[in-house]
Structure 1
Amino acid sequence: MTNATLSSWSQWDEIHGFSDQIKRQKSASEKKNTPVSIDHSNATGTFKGSAESNYVTTLSSCNCVDFSRRHLPCKHMYRLAHELSLFNLGAVSSGHVVTRDEAISKITQILSEDEIATFAYFCYHCGNNQASSELFPSDFANRLIKNRLAEEVSDIPTLLTHLRMNDIRKFLPTGVKSPMKKVDLISLVAPNVARKEIIFPDNMKCLTLHSDIAHLGHSIHRRLCALYPKPEQELWFDL
């Protein structure tokens, strides 16, 4: 494996934990995405595409629609990296479904009571199936990510919703008038904004529930409220 090959894949190191990327990793592990062929010497692969042609994939690009639109690793790139022993898809394809009690056990082991209250609100706000997202201090966010309780959000429009209007306007092309509504402003600038350009105050990170427990958001919230009742508990709903 050449240094150039390793460098091609290492450029993506910081985004593998994003929720959208984990979805693609899971898809990459499916049998239907088995490569047609792998060229180990050149670190390239061919995958079944449309009726007209196959997809040609490298560790830095793919001619599939997903990569052309997002410019981030697609399922074909993850499968290629797995076949070249550069990325392990085993962790996301194990098939184990996390139960609510397993999630609660982990939460109560690694978080303080105050942090549990914060996480309970997070679960309520996100709901089920990653319906929303929140900003958290990086140290707390990293702990949630490490323990597979949360994932970083990579979707540009979602990230932009957490910025103030004036900060979003900085992405407007010169001479372009800003729309009055935030949603219209985001729609206008999002296609031309790179993830690395979006910086939150105090290095905060934008998280959503980890895909392992995304379907349990409301259930986890209710259970945590029952285990740790507080007089101000209703505030978790109003924040």
Structure 2
Amino acid sequence: MTILAAYPSTNDWGNWNPGIHKDWTQKARYKRTFEAGITVKNLHVNEQTAVINGYTVSLKECTCPDFSERRFPCKHIYRLAVELGILEKPLDEEPQYQVSSEGTMFVIKAK
């Protein structure tokens, strides 16, 4: 996950501790932001809100059951961050790496 805009803890990227996004469960949610069936409606850039799959979403909270239960960013919050240009769209596939006999690592497959 690449954050496009550097953000201080006081900005509107939900005031999340950046370390939260390194957790494997959060990475999985981020990867699911562009799965089939996720629709973004009523994107309000200035207010940093949207309706995504019927849920009201801001960078700080979402009305979906996952967020209500866990209180951590859900896939809808990550999708909003992508739509607002705060995060990059996730790769469709993880790059595959190979190490040469000289010890150089290079990408052999990536979308």
2:38 paired with 1:33: yes
Cα distance in 2 between the residues matched to 1:10 and 1:29? 23
Q: Trace 1:141-152 onto structure 2 (pairs within 5 A).
A: none
Among residues 14, 18, 21, which one is paired with 1:13 in the alignment?
18
Which 4+ residue blocks in structure 1 deviate beyond 4 angstroms?
none
TM-score of the two chains, using structure 1 as the length reference: 0.35
Deviations 1:107-127 (A, max 9, x none): x669xxxxxxxxxxxxxxxxx
Secondary structure of 2:91's aligned partner: coil
Identity of aligned residues (%): 28
C-alpha contact 1:62 1:76 (8 A) present in aligned 2: yes
CA 1:61–1:74: 2 relative to 1, 3 Å: same
Q: Which has the higher helix share?
A: 1
Secondary structure of 2:22's aligned partner: coil
Q: Which amino acid aligns with 2:19?
A: E
Q: How many residues align?
A: 96
5+ long unaligned stretches in structure 2? 1-7, 106-111
2:57 paired with 1:71: no
Q: Which amino acid aligns with 1:76?
A: H
CA 1:8–1:96: 2 relative to 1, 3 Å: closer
5+ long unaligned stretches in structure 1? 49-53, 111-239
Residue 140 of structure 1 is matched in structure 2 by none
Q: Trace 1:135-214 onto structure 2 (pairs within 5 A).
A: none
**CA RMSD of superposed structures (Å):** 2.7
How far did residue 9 of structure 1 move? 3.0
Larger Rg: 1
Residue 82 of structure 2 is matched in structure 1 by 82
How far did residue 97 of structure 1 move? 5.5
How far did residue 84 of structure 1 move? 0.5
2:69 paired with 1:60: no
Secondary structure of 2:40's aligned partner: coil
